[in-house]
Structure 1
Amino acid sequence: MTAGRVVLWRHGRTAHNAAARLQGQSDIPLDEVGVWQAETAAAALASRYRPTVVVSSDLGRARATAQALGDRTGLPVTTDVRVRERSFGDWEGLTSAEIAERWPEQHAAWVAGHEPERVGAETRAQVLDRMVAGVTDLAAALGSEDTLVVTSHGAAITLGITGLLGLPAEWKGVSGMSNAHWAELRPGRPGSGLAWRLEALNVGPVHASSDWNAGPDRPDEGMDDEVRDPA
């Protein structure tokens, strides 16, 4: 048996996300916008699916995001270290420009699609393997009517999807995930030779704001009521 649906949900925004700093396994909390994103996305998830189990990375930003869904659905949130973000070693907390200044050759190789070397980062294959193992084990404990929601991280989800589709770690055909957006996978059809198939990618309540990363829409505080509403 396995879950009939797996939802891989990325955490809401953090200050490192907003500043384009490489986060990795640094335990950075949600910022104000991230809390709003988590609550807004949790409402959308709860209206779209009937989650059975909610599991989170052990990192705080993921746990807080998952808890927004747990609070809405009444489900407990458990953690699994296997679905935490990819470690980037010495690069964590730095911007791309700062990495390029200190590790120009390694940065150039990374931008070209190669592995970061000699900086203590996990390889793509290592992350893929633990994500696939974690999601597969969690899903195997459920049945065909169940929906498993796994709250994780951008790089981890991308590599997890790649592995669950039976593709190698070096394949880079999955686009990145926006904060508090999710992907949906269903078991492969009998005889297809596929364990999982991708049903949806980078889905979220984007209608909730004209700019998802700016937070909730608010009237301009510098405008009086007559200007805002001339009628």
Structure 2
Amino acid sequence: MKIIFSRHGNTFPASMKAKWIGGEADPPLVLEGERQAGQLGTALRSARCIPSATFCSPLQRTRTYAEIALAISGARRPTVPDLRLSEIDYGNWEGLSNIEVVRRFGAREFFDWYRRSIWPMSNWKTERSVYFDAIDSFLGELKRSYGPTETILVVTAHGPLKCIGWRLMGKFGNLPVAQLARVDTGNICELEMGNDFLQPVTWNEPPGVLRPPVQPK
């Protein structure tokens, strides 16, 4: 099974300083974010990767992103919101810029999360074990519900992607920790899933890396 994870597009215009926003905040996509969704849809159509099913978090920024992409790709099945894909509630980090987080909570705590996906000691409102269990449950359900030749699209915020990346760290030498710790807005992670494996094909790449399936000779 192919799973294409996509982080939603921009929610801040270029003129505005980006801040930490978690699962309690739900700003809409800005025009650039909608354009990024269009790029994903075009890439899916060009690569003939029309998803059998599409999932998103309950946030409007992921739902809108998925809907735009699907409309352009030609897919007909609706997007299904799933609470297990919810964004982290960043607690004391909410509404702060990166610099402000470093000043208040220290560079080590910030960069351990930013560069290595190590859950911080700060007062986040989301419990790590519960969050990881929810994501593992979602992946397990995909494995049970879809066949080996199907493609699934999942649009999320950053939290689920960082947690999946953390699970993969150290297992694939061609993907360093720093790469697996981050997915930029509008970028995708393509993974292959089998009965006993979850293997990244690409991580934190623009949607244009998608290629049509190789036809047997």
Gaps of 5+ in 2: 210-217
- 1:6 aligned partner, one-letter code: I
Q: Offset of 1:206 from its aligned partner?
A: 6.3
* Correspondences of 1:1-231 after superposition (within 5 Å): 4-15=1-12, 19-25=17-23, 26-48=25-47, 49-72=49-72, 73-101=75-103, 103-105=104-106, 108-113=108-113, 115-163=119-167, 172=177, 174-188=180-194, 194-205=196-207
TM-score when scaled to structure 2?
A: 0.77
Q: Secondary structure at the match of 1:15?
A: coil
Q: What's the CA shift for 1:104? A: 3.5
Q: Measured at CA, do residues 111 and 187 of structure 1 come closer, stay the same or move farther in structure 2, by a change above 3 Å? A: closer
Give 5+ residue unaligned stretches, structure 1: 208-231
Give 2:190's aligned amino acid: E
User: CA offset at residue 13 of structure 1?
Assistant: 0.7
Query: Is the partner of 1:45 in helix, strand or coil?
Result: helix
Aligned residue pair count = 195
Opposite residue 70 of structure 1, the aligned amino acid is: L
| SS in structure 1 of the partner of residue 154 of structure 2 | strand
Identical pairs, percent = 23
Kept in 1: contact 2:105–2:122 (CA 8 A): no
Give the superposition deviation at 1:131: 1.5
Query: Quick check: which has more Rg, 1 or 2?
Result: 1
Instruction: Quickly say closer, same or farther: Cα 1:104–1:181, change in 2 above 3 A.
Output: closer
| Distance (Å, rounded) in 2 between the aligned partners of 1:204 and 1:154 | 15
**Do the aligned partners of 1:16 and 1:22 also contact (CA within 8 Å) in 2?**
no
The amino acid that maps onto 2:90 is: F
Task: Give the letter aligned to residue 88 of structure 1.
Answer: Y
Per-residue CA distance 1:101-135 (angstroms, 9 max, x = gap): 4x335x64333455333523435544332212112
**Cα distance, 1:71 vs structure 2:** 1.8
Tell me the amino acid that sits aligned with residue 35 of structure 1.
E
Aligned-residue offset at 1:41: 1.6
Q: CA deviation at 1:39?
A: 1.2
**What is the CA distance between 1:68 and its match in structure 2?**
1.1
Q: How far does the alpha carbon of each residue in 1:119-160 deviate from its partner, in whole angstroms, 9 at most, with x for none?
A: 234355443322121122134211122111111122321212
Q: Distance in 2 between matches of 1:51 and 1:166?
A: 29
Contact kept in structure 1, 2:8 and 2:155, CA below 8 Å: yes
Distance of aligned partners of 1:77 and 1:155 in 2 relative to their CA distance in 1, 3 Å threshold = same
* Matched letter for residue 10 of structure 1: R
CA distance in 2, matches of 1:164, 1:52: 25
